[in-house]
Amino acid sequence: MTEQHGKSAAIIVIGNEILSGKVEDLNSPYLSRELRALGVNVQRITVVPDQVDFIAEEIILCRNRYQLLFTSGGVGPTHDDVTMEGIAKGVGKPLIRHPILDRMLRTVYEGALNPAQAKLADVPEGLELLHAEGLRIPVLRFQNIYIFPGIPDLLVRKFEAIKERFRETPFYLRKIFLTGDEALVADDLNKVLRLFPRLLLGSYPILHHPEYKVILTLESKDKSYLEDATQSLLSFLPKELILRLE
């Protein structure tokens, strides 16, 4: 991944409830927005079932292809929480009882752990605990894999606690609102991309809006490059179609 586009990232959402439509996935939209704001370029989002082999296959695919990998879900105490086992298989490590995590859980549960509670301390060998203020149980990381719970409130709390470690040069964004269809400006978009190949350019049709029909987005980590590209595109676009620039 080129530096001007930021670190690459993938998100793996784990859970039969997401695939069956019983529960709406709130975690990947949240992570995508937050990571983008931090300057990270999310390139892949997948949803896999609570099955060890599916999780392991996706881990193998993503961990070396993307610089950052985030998982969500499947880390609870029940029979279908098999994320740790899937990650362990994907990275070729055994599951072990983490002694520090085990002690922390005994404090949280105030005494001896039953088998379901003790399962929460079983993690891939070599896993690291990321401690942060306000977290009773730290964020779990294996190399470039960050492992989060599926409950949205818990995921948000844990991500907020460590998110600054991911911050880098931000993306700068400009938006152009058009009153005509995107087919009218397709050639203009191609022209500006030939002149500015590092520009991240998006074109999004908007249905049923009373003022505009298309939003164009231009992004770059180089602010002057972005401004030059924006001015170039504005010079190509039919003036009568431009509603406003933000």
Confidence of residue 4 (pLDDT cuts 50, 70, 90): low
Provide the pLDDT for residue 2. 41
188 compared with 80, residue with greater pLDDT: 188
Whole-prediction pTM value?
0.92
Cα–Cα distance, 23 to 28 (Å, whole number): 13
d(CA 102, CA 120): 8
Task: Say what the pLDDT of residue 54 is.
Answer: 98
Q: What are phi and psi of 123, to 5 degrees?
A: -140, 165
Q: Which domains does the chain have, with CATH numbers?
A: 3-166 (3.40.980.10), 172-245 (3.30.70.1130)
Q: Which of 79, 82, 97, 83 is nearest to 145 (CA)?
A: 83
Among the residue ranges 51-55, 109-113, 151-155, 178-182, the one predicted with the least confidence is 109-113
- Tell which phi-psi region holds residue 231, choosing left (phi > 0), alpha (psi between -120 and 50) or beta: alpha
Burial class (CB in 10 A: 0-12, 13-18, 19+), 157: middle
What distance separates the 2 farthest-apart alpha carbons in the chain?
A: 72
Distance (Å) of CA 177 to CA 33, 173, 216, 230, 240: 21, 13, 6, 13, 11
* pLDDT, mean over the chain: 95
pLDDT, one tens digit per residue, over 59-77 is: 999 999 999 999 999 999 9
Q: What angle do CA 12, 17, 19 make, to 5 degrees?
A: 60
Average pLDDT value for residue range 186-208:
97
pLDDT for position 5: 75
For 121-185, the DSSP string reads GEEETT-EEE--TT-SSPEEEETTEEEE-SSHHHHHHHHHHHGGGG--SPPEEEEEEESS-GGGT
Report yes or no: 80 and 48 within 8 Å, Cβ to Cβ.
no
Tell me the three state secondary structure of residue 246. coil
The values of phi and psi at residue 242, to 5°, are -85, 115
DSSP 8-class letter at 112:
P
Residue 140 has pLDDT above 80, yes or no: yes
- Please write the tens of the pLDDT for every residue from 76-135: 998 889 999 999 999 999 999 999 999 999 998 888 899 999 999 999 999 999 999 999
Report pLDDT for 1: 37
End-to-end CA distance of the chain: 28
Given a cut of 60, is residue 3 above it in pLDDT?
no
Looking at the chain, the whole-number percentage of residues with pLDDT higher than 90 is: 93
